[in-house]
Amino acid sequence: MGKKIAFVCNDCGGEHNKWQGQCAHCGAWNTLEEIRFSEDTSSGKQVRNLYKPRNSNADKSSPKILADVRLEEIFRIATTFGEFDRVLGGGLVPGSVTLLGGNPGAGKSTLLLQLACNLSDAIDILYVTGEESMQQVALRANRLALPHKNLHLMSETKLQDILSVANDVKPTVLIIDSIQVMYLDELSSAPGGVSQVRECSAVLTQFAKQSGTVLILVGHVTKDGLLAGPKVLEHIVDCSLLLEGDANNRFRTLRSQKNRFGAVNELGVFAMTDRGMREVKNPSAIFLDRRGLQTPGSVVTIIWEGTRPLLVEIQALIDPNSHDNPRRLAVGLDQNRMSMLLAVLHRHGGVNLVSHDIYANVVGGIRVLETSADLALIFATVSSMRDFSLPSEMAVFGEVGLSGEIRPVQNGQERLLEARKHGFKRVLIPAGNAPKTSIKGLDIEAVSNVSEALSIIC
């Protein structure tokens, strides 16, 4: 039988008839990979359309006036994990496709197995494992003391067999662990390749949409922390989640990178224990181990993650360097932004750190993505360099501009209330975030530029 050869871009999933150095769709270089289709699936359409609509005439599309579209509340399935539901936007949505990625050992399989076992008494769940045997999964369930009597478990990598079983079981939730090991017979490429990952995801997505099944895919990540596989996979799914953490840190953070049913960049916090993943309902408490301590180079800031404020500790260590090339290292912070803030500190604060090594860290392994931690990083840097401690009951937040001004940030009132809730008595904030009325038990100091802020603590 004749076969069609196509070349697919690893970055964007774009197809080309012949190999070329640069992808014509995204402009990336040397990212095309050769794939082969059998003759009866040369167009790829038969693979994608294994599950056709039951009544195509009834589902015929027609335009509507936007104002005439009925607004209905989305039905959601609670996962028994409040933090997981928060990241999803309230729970699992029937017919939705969720991609869960993370480093090896982060706890993806453990978290999903706990979720599946806890829900199996109420709804039908099919857990498909392609990387472990059923005995390994059963041993983990027993070790974690999970209620697994009603959980449907399957160890398979051939997608046609999985879908055949899914049609018989008709699960409410289908978990695929992981998408990188699944394959279709119609494709000649190996599992994990661009064509296999893309086509398997497309077929599973089509099955989920037409049957109303909640589909959860587990995905691997690259050494850069990005989801492995073609970029088209991120466009197919409704929700893309990333579970961050390593074996040296007992805490795990679950962050939404894309969500069609909720807020993006929502954060959920879990702790890995001998009984599996446990949700942390008050994340601010675990990131404030410094309470009662006064050490140079440490300050608490209030960031905004998704729909809630979060208190985290920023640390800085300044060390003289006799070499010509001082080191700059940021863990949990944007290193480029740290370099920019050091330049602002030199120009508008009179603090010269050219001959010093600078190390910055966010306690607890959390990653700060927003700019409200700028002022806290500057305070921690000055505190470490001049070897003085900031009061333990003080917190700061604010964005710093290139001209030395301190800009207001969103949700300032909620951040202040979170600080008071955790016992802080003094907060330094941007002048634009100053509340109209005082907050009982909280001494608020509003500053407008870096030099004014440094004059308060120095």
What pLDDT shows up at residue 244?
Answer: 86
Q: Tokens 């003085």 correspond to what residue?
A: 388
Phi and psi, residue 446, nearest 5°: -100, 130
Classified as helix, coil or strand, 241 is strand
DSSP state of 68: G
pLDDT in tens, 48-93: 444 444 444 444 568 889 888 887 778 899 998 999 999 999 999 9
Fold entry, domain 285-457: Ribosomal Protein S5; domain 2 (3.30.230)
Reply yes or no on whether the pLDDT at 1 is more than 80: no
**pLDDT mean over 259-264:** 89
Reported confidence tier of residue 45, pLDDT bands at 50, 70, 90: very low
Please give the model's pTM, rounded to 2 decimal places: 0.76
| Residue 457 parent element (H or E) | helix 450-457
Q: What is the mean pLDDT of residues 381-401?
A: 94
Using CA atoms, how far residue 225 sits from 17, 28, 243, 434, in Å, is 31, 19, 10, 38
pLDDT for res 6: 77
pLDDT digit string (tens) for 272-300?
998 899 998 888 877 776 555 678 999 99
Per DSSP, the three-state class of 318 is strand
Report whether pLDDT(172) > 50. Answer: yes
pLDDT band at 397 (very low <50, low <70, confident <90, very high): very high
Q: State residue 58's pLDDT score.
A: 44
How far apart are alpha carbons 191 and 210 in whole angstroms?
25
- State percent of the chain over pLDDT 70: 89
Name the band, by pLDDT with cuts 50, 70 and 90, for residue 249. Answer: confident
How far, in Å, CA of 439 to CA of 133, rounded?
57
The fold of the 78-281 domain, in CATH, is Rossmann fold (3.40.50)
Q: Which residues does residue 251 pair with via DSSP β-bridges, in sequence order?
A: 271
| H helix or E strand, kind and range, residue 48 | helix 45-48
